[in-house]
Structure 1
């Protein structure tokens, strides 16, 4: 390995040396490779997935093979099974493993192997034949989702760190007790929760067709989140990590504009009222909010609820507003979303501090821009954050939704 900074090493042509070094112990080298996915956590690790065609080192007598290797700058235990630790002369370390042997996700092998997943489903009394299996999402060391076709319908396997998976089961129970619609649990194992299909379709699909639930229905759904969730561990929000995201983004874009927007956001955050602590989803965006097309909060449901916990209502609303803001930059089919976003902001202004909402939505935009998207997207999202935090609200401040007194007429 060279002495290049680990993240830069994985993102540049010198990644060849990392892959060769990781394969050398098996008598292989990377004959060709493609950088498949980059997962950057600002201020933390960078992990990169590589599709590799491995060939034998001369004289090794090893058969060539196709591999998916993951390399990360995360600090992993020295004895992590299946992980090659490569240390440069400057002491910087990169760890590499072959998928699905993720050292933090021990159930990933089960979730990506039809026979093993089918066995788990049969043991739980579900249809045990997996006829098709695909990876929907994978964030190294953190989470993965696979979807399986079975005679009983689709099954979604959520792979998490074992302690997080146990917490997901508890959160699902809390939500069901509160009559908040979430997918049914079909099977579980350490580090793995298998869910049935959610009802309806993701809000993102509806938005592409120009349809959306009434903002009031979304607000009512959030009000229905169980108060017991406030006893769960709290998570830091993008607003809490503003400096970290600004630092990361300033390494990719000109420093001065990034710092100026971050300073504007910080100034508003310092004065705006976030409201009381309530139960929050924690990652409310159009892929996690499902809708069956009917009116009312009962037509809405949630997925990816492992983030459920205490927070401020304004942060859930800001997260959704920020993701609505970026959708048209990702696909022109979302051209009707800006008007829907503005209607959502106007409705949200009646229940949370409008300035807090815009500043926290801008912080989410900065977090998205800092996650190493294409440079043109990072620039656009920075501009959108600038516009949002400086956009005046015409709303009249009202008491927070949770403080309103309900009276019978």
Structure 2
């Protein structure tokens, strides 16, 4: 029996070096050094990891990003786009960024010259921009899931920002439909400047600034009533879309992921699972139009009002408590704040909670928020943060406080 069927041990240990070295050799290079960068583990199902590396190529030395995946049950169709290595017990798919097997458009979105050509082809820029005039920055990359890059280019003498969203093929058309649906209803979702055959969405920058920054302002960035009103303004058609299960439904899975990374927390996590599962038993899935991943990172604000709503891939039917709980969970787990920042966020939560409590059941709100917090506890390990153990424990602390506050 294979003691490591999901590859979680292999891909996070020095044993992976042989695979990385073989993959680089296959591409014509020589691996000089490497370091684990990101881990996305699903116990007993799959593990995906990325590694920063220094590689000597025939044309010179470069910093590279390598990816590797192991799946229980063997390779998938998209794994065929990577280099497959087998050790007799499992198969490992290895690739060199940006050739992510599940994100075909990333190859085009990752290079300034390709982005310049893309923007001109869709008449976003009136003329072809020189490569050295394109500022390209990776905003987020979940290997084999999604990526977002920020492109800044000159248009009519002004530096103009666009976001390039790189999607999996099966999610591309549904995401585009959601943009069109919310824009048609007058919600402040991003306009779509381009939708490409290789699953890229080009979105202009929203007005205002991220709520994730504004939560630290001396004055409230917006009101709780505005946030609830934004969600309640979603068109009824949203409730007819395919359902995405709320974060809380997978609390067992997330708890297992955290416990696998940090076993001393296992008993506390099991207590949380029992409390959340028991407290929410019998509550139906709901049929309200919901965002599905509503938090401060998805909102833009200006002059005390909401000006933008991002990442609407998850829009669909659900319960309003899920959306509000997601926001509460994120605000309850902001990391690395100063004393002043922590006080301001705490005051904001205390101000907003009574409004949320008037819209949804207060106990359900807190239990669902605790469930979302458990999902967020996977983040520090997944991102290989320098002090991920301590940050993970702090997040679990926040989940326990929410459960206890539910009574």
Q: TM-score range by the shorter chain?
A: 0.7 to 0.9
Is 1:382 paired with 2:392? Answer: no
- Give the C-alpha shift of residue 87 in structure 1: 2.0
Q: Measure the CA separation in 2 of the matches of 1:72 and 1:346.
A: 45
List gaps (5 residues or longer) in structure 1: 394-409
Q: Measure the CA separation in 1 of the matches of 2:209 and 2:42.
A: 29
Q: Which residue of 2 aligns with 1:85?
A: 84
Is 1:259 paired with 2:260? Answer: no
Equivalent residues of 1:53, 1:65 under 8 A apart: yes
Q: Measure the CA separation in 2 of the matches of 1:269 and 1:372.
A: 27
- Give the C-alpha shift of residue 334 in structure 1: 3.8
Q: Which residue of 2 aligns with 1:24?
A: 25
Is 1:232 paired with 2:229? Answer: no
- The one of 313, 318, 322 aligned to 2:320: 313
- The one of 317, 324, 331 aligned to 2:337: 331
- Pairing 1:226-375 to 2, within 5 Å after superposition: 226-251=235-260, 252-254=262-264, 255-270=266-281, 273=283, 276-295=286-305, 299-327=306-334, 329-332=335-338, 333-373=341-381, 374-375=388-389
Equivalent residues of 1:372, 1:378 under 8 A apart: yes
- Structure 1 residues 78 and 177 mapped into 2: Cα distance closer, same or farther (>3 Å)? closer
Equivalent residues of 1:42, 1:370 under 8 A apart: no
Query: 3-state SS of the aligned residue for 2:401?
Result: helix
Q: Which residue of 2 aligns with 1:71?
A: 68
Query: 3-state SS of the aligned residue for 2:148?
Result: strand
Equivalent residues of 1:212, 1:340 under 8 A apart: no
TM-score by length of 1: 0.87
- Pairing 1:18-57 to 2, within 5 Å after superposition: 18-41=19-42, 44-55=45-56
Question: Which string of whole-angstrom CA distances, capped at 9 and with x for unpartnered residues, describes residues 180-202 of structure 1?
Answer: 01122111202100000111111
Question: Which string of whole-angstrom CA distances, capped at 9 and with x for unpartnered residues, describes residues 159-187 of structure 1?
Answer: 00123122221111111111101122111
- The range that moved more, 78-87 or 244-253, is 78-87
- Give the C-alpha shift of residue 95 in structure 1: 1.2
Q: Measure the CA separation in 2 of the matches of 1:287 and 1:62.
A: 40
Q: Which residue of 2 aligns with 1:137?
A: 140
- Structure 1 residues 106 and 22 mapped into 2: Cα distance closer, same or farther (>3 Å)? same
Question: Which string of whole-angstrom CA distances, capped at 9 and with x for unpartnered residues, describes residues 3-52 of structure 1?
Answer: 75612222122221221122232454421112233334566533222122
- Give the C-alpha shift of residue 250 in structure 1: 2.3
- Structure 1 residues 145 and 41 mapped into 2: Cα distance closer, same or farther (>3 Å)? farther
Q: Measure the CA separation in 2 of the matches of 1:169 and 1:79.
A: 22
Equivalent residues of 1:365, 1:382 under 8 A apart: yes
- Structure 1 residues 40 and 371 mapped into 2: Cα distance closer, same or farther (>3 Å)? farther
Q: Which residue of 1 aligns with 2:183?
A: 176
- Give the C-alpha shift of residue 116 in structure 1: 1.6
Q: Measure the CA separation in 1 of the matches of 2:375 and 2:13.
A: 23
- Give the C-alpha shift of residue 388 in structure 1: 0.5
Is 1:215 paired with 2:218? Answer: no
Q: Measure the CA separation in 2 of the matches of 1:160 and 1:225.
A: 23
- Structure 1 residues 223 and 79 mapped into 2: Cα distance closer, same or farther (>3 Å)? closer
Count of aligned residue pairs for this structure pair: 382
- Pairing 1:141-180 to 2, within 5 Å after superposition: 141-152=144-155, 153-180=160-187
Q: Measure the CA separation in 2 of the matches of 1:79 and 1:389.
A: 41
Equivalent residues of 2:49, 2:67 under 8 A apart: yes
- Pairing 1:177-196 to 2, within 5 Å after superposition: 177-190=184-197, 191-196=199-204
- The range that moved more, 71-80 or 343-352, is 71-80
- Give the C-alpha shift of residue 322 in structure 1: 0.1
Question: Which string of whole-angstrom CA distances, capped at 9 and with x for unpartnered residues, describes residues 270-324 of structure 1?
Answer: 15x46841111111111101111234xxx33201111111111110001000000
- Structure 1 residues 43 and 377 mapped into 2: Cα distance closer, same or farther (>3 Å)? farther
TM-score by length of 2: 0.87
- The range that moved more, 12-21 or 218-227, is 12-21
- Structure 1 residues 227 and 330 mapped into 2: Cα distance closer, same or farther (>3 Å)? farther
- Structure 1 residues 143 and 294 mapped into 2: Cα distance closer, same or farther (>3 Å)? same
**Root-mean-square deviation over aligned CA pairs:** 2.3
Equivalent residues of 1:46, 1:72 under 8 A apart: yes
- Give the C-alpha shift of residue 253 in structure 1: 3.3
Question: Which string of whole-angstrom CA distances, capped at 9 and with x for unpartnered residues, describes residues 92-130 of structure 1?
Answer: 222110111111111101111122222221122111425
